[in-house]
Amino acid sequence: MIPRWEYEDPEPFVKKLKELRERGVPADRIAVLMPYPVHGFEQIMGLKPSPLRFFTLGGALTGLVLGFAFPILTVRDWPLITGGKPLISIPPFVVIAFALTILLGALASFVGFLHLSRLPSVPGIQNPEEHGNRFVIEDHSEGVS
Amino acid sequence: MSRRAFFEGVERDVLAAMKRPRPSYWIALTAAALVFACGLALWGYQMVRGMGVAGIRHPVGWGVYITDFVFWVGIAHSGTLISAVLFLFRAGFRSSFNRFAEAMTVFAVMTAGLFPLIHLGRSWFFYWLFPYPSQRLLWVNFRSPLVWDVFAVSTYFTVSAVFFYVGLLPDLALIRRHTRGIRQWFYRVLSLGWAGTARQWNHYNQLYLFLAALATPLVVSVHSVVSWDFAMSMVPGWHTTIFAPYFVAGAIFSGTAMVLTLGIPMRRILGLEKYITKDHFESLTKMLLVTSLIVTYAYIVEIALAWYSGHKFETAHFSYRLFGHYRGMYAIMVICNCLLPLTLFVRKLRRNIPYLFVLSILVNVGMWLERFVIIVTALAKEYDPYSWGTYTPSWVEIGITAGSFGMFFTFFLLFTKLLPVLSITEIKEREE
């Protein structure tokens, strides 16, 4: 039987969470469900900052490089001077690079989020676990140590 | 009131708005959908008969369609401002508006995105706008502002749609608890099986922050790029450096007005007075006032710049804009955008909801006219007197414009019944 606590309010929930952590229960052994994020739960549970930022950075940098490389390569593929401007005009390409940085940064973040949070979750869709407005803690450390 | 009672109250009240609609809703939806359908039919008529059915011709090649495009992109902006910029600034009144303002953004960009295609004439070749390896071996001209527009607007649409959806996730999971049968399945799938575990919230908070940070530069960049469609040309009245900030301020101004136009009746019809309070409207109204002052300043600066430059064509253009064929529109624009919003310095009027509703509609009218005046007056009297002319929108153009409003309101009305119009999760968080 897994020990389980349910709370209506965040204060006793946070208290219990702290208590469990102080007892030395590892964070990955505590399952927590929250209707909204309680302020500072990451610190209490000792969660590392989400690695999502690497997805964002990767996407944004890819967009930036692509945003310059693509116009430069295509204009070299068929050199066509328009308006008497140099073929490789950096200022106009900045606009493209800027847009693609944001676009790929945002999309990579979203994909990264889905990957890290294990979404979409088929069991979660078929049989969602509903806990209403309650804060739930489950201690899965029993029987492991 | 206890916290639990409050939480249950929020859920009940916001979800009650999604219950079986009243007959007045069906009437409104049918009317909007009919206008939308008429607009589509007129677009079809234009495709069959050719661009001659529109009033645009030499010398005024950009008319109502481009006006509508700029107008709708502008409307979208304040949604992003409210959801992203105010999130980064931790403004409390944001959570009363962000959900439906984000929906407004997505629908407005969708509407705006149609207008370049309508304006193309041969709309079925729209994919020529995108760079793709074609048999002709030709690529698009990345030095053209029109291509920047393709990138700016499609990026804007994608990022706003993702931001809107991500914000919805916890609420979708919440609705699934309150629905049954096929409706429940709809929300189950849409919520992707969100459970609200610590790990999910950890990534979620990070994602939301990053999306807000990525969307924030878009508030400034997208309408700047739209303004460069004009400013990069050599047309007197368009070729000016103030255009980008001028357009951005105008966009936020008109978008804030649209949030009021949509929010005031919505709050009343759906009974959300408890959550969208007068104080919240007042905060929004202050934003309206500030952007109105910036827009007024820009109107003065562009005239002053033309006068100070001593450039013959620039001065001629502005005297034409103020006193020429379209002077009536210019006067209405100044009244709606510069003079009437000044009344918002009075606190009593800032808190007078019916007054705000009327004012917001007038601002929308004024901002539409602003774009019309900028676009049409500049083209009507360019350099060579031989090619001067005037432009009057044809009934097809007016009909398609009306149809775009029909489309926007159709989508918005569907949204109010399918998705929660307020962010339940964020209101709970705000209450803490």
pLDDT tens sequence for chain A (145 residues): 788 888 888 888 888 888 888 888 887 888 888 888 888 888 888 888 889 999 999 999 999 999 999 999 999 998 988 888 899 999 999 999 999 999 999 999 999 999 999 889 888 888 887 777 888 888 887 755 4
Rounded distance between C-alpha atoms, residue B21 and residue B11, angstroms: 18
Q: What is the pLDDT of residue A20?
A: 85
Residue B251 phi/psi, 5-degree rounding, is: -65, -45
The reported pLDDT for the residue numbered A143 is: 57
Check: CB of residue A8 under 8 Å from CB of residue A133. Answer: yes
Chain B residue numbers touching A110 (CB-CB < 8 A) = 162, 166, 207, 211
The answer to whether B428 contacts A36, with C-beta atoms less than 8 Å apart, is yes
Residue A86 backbone dihedrals phi, psi, to 5 degrees:
-60, 150
Query: Of A52, A75, A120, which is closest to B192 when you measure between CB atoms?
Result: A120
B389–chain A nearest CA distance, Å: 27
pLDDT digits (tens, 9 = 90+) for B375-398: 999 999 999 999 899 999 999 999
Segment (H or E) for A5? strand A4-7
Which pLDDT score is estimated for A145? Answer: 45
Average pLDDT of span B158-173: 94
- CB contact under 8 Å between A106 and B141, yes or no, is no
Q: Range of B70's domain?
A: 3-431
Q: Which positions ≥6 away from B44 have C-beta within 8 Å?
A: none
Q: What are the counts of helices (DSSP H) followed by strands (DSSP E) for chain A? A: 5, 3
What is the model's pLDDT at position B376? 96
pLDDT tens figures, B182-206: 988 999 999 998 988 888 999 999 9
- Return the C-alpha torsion angle B378, B381, B384, B388, nearest 10: 130
Domain CATH code at residue B260: 1.20.1630.10
Q: Closest Cα of chain B to A127: distance in Å?
A: 8
A128:B195 CB<8 A: yes
Interval A23-49: pLDDT, tens: 888 878 888 888 888 888 888 888 888
Give the model's pLDDT for residue B1. 62
**Per-residue pLDDT at A131:** 79
Residue among B411, B417, B430 nearest B269 (CA): B417
CA distance A129 to chain B (A): 7
What average pLDDT is seen over chain B?
93
Q: Which of B7, B131, B217 sits opposite A133 (nearest CB)?
A: B7
Q: Do B174 and A96 touch (CB under 8 A)?
A: no
pLDDT tier at B217, thresholds 50, 70, 90: very high
pLDDT digits (tens, 9 = 90+) for B309-336: 999 999 999 999 999 999 999 999 999 9
What DSSP letter does each residue of B223-260 carry, written as one string?
HHHHHHHHHTS--TTT--TTHHHHHHHHHHHHHHHHHH
Q: Which residues in chain B are contacts of A95 at CB distance < 8 A?
A: 148, 151-152, 225
Nearest to B169 by CA among B112, B211, B214: B211
The residue of chain A nearest to residue B145, with distances taken between CA atoms, is A92
Using an 8 Å Cβ cutoff, are B94 and B419 in contact? no
Residue with tokens 């490089």: A65
CB contact under 8 A, B143 and A50: no
Distance from CA of B133 to the nearest CA of A (A): 10
Place of tokens 């044809």: B394
pLDDT tens per residue across span B81-118: 988 999 998 888 888 899 999 999 999 999 999 999 99
The tally of domains found in chain B comes to 1
At A138, phi and psi to the nearest 5? -125, 135
Confidence class of residue B238 from pLDDT cuts 50, 70 and 90? very high
Model confidence over B145-164: pLDDT tens digits?
999 999 999 999 999 999 99
Question: What is the four-CA torsion angle of B107, B110, B115, B116, rounded to 10 degrees?
Answer: 150
B432:A10 CB<8 A: yes
Ranges A28-42, B244-258, B285-299: which has the least confidence: A28-42
pLDDT class for B18, splitting at 50, 70, 90? Answer: confident
Please report residues of A whose CB lies closer than 8 A to that of B102. none
Q: In this complex, is the C-beta atom of A70 within 8 Å of any C-beta atom belonging to chain B?
A: yes
- Other Cβ atoms closer than 10 A to B365: 16
Is A41's Cβ below 8 Å from some Cβ in B? yes
> In 10 A of CB B396, how many CB atoms?
21
**Interchain CB contact of A94 with B (< 8 Å):** no
Q: B237: phi > 0 → left, psi -120 to 50 → alpha, else beta; which?
A: left
> What pLDDT shows up at residue B291?
96
Left if phi > 0, otherwise alpha if psi is -120 to 50, otherwise beta: which for B310? left
Best residue of A29, A100, A102 to probe chain B, by most B CBs closer than 10 Å:
A102
What's the CA gap between B407 and B405, in Å, rounded? 5
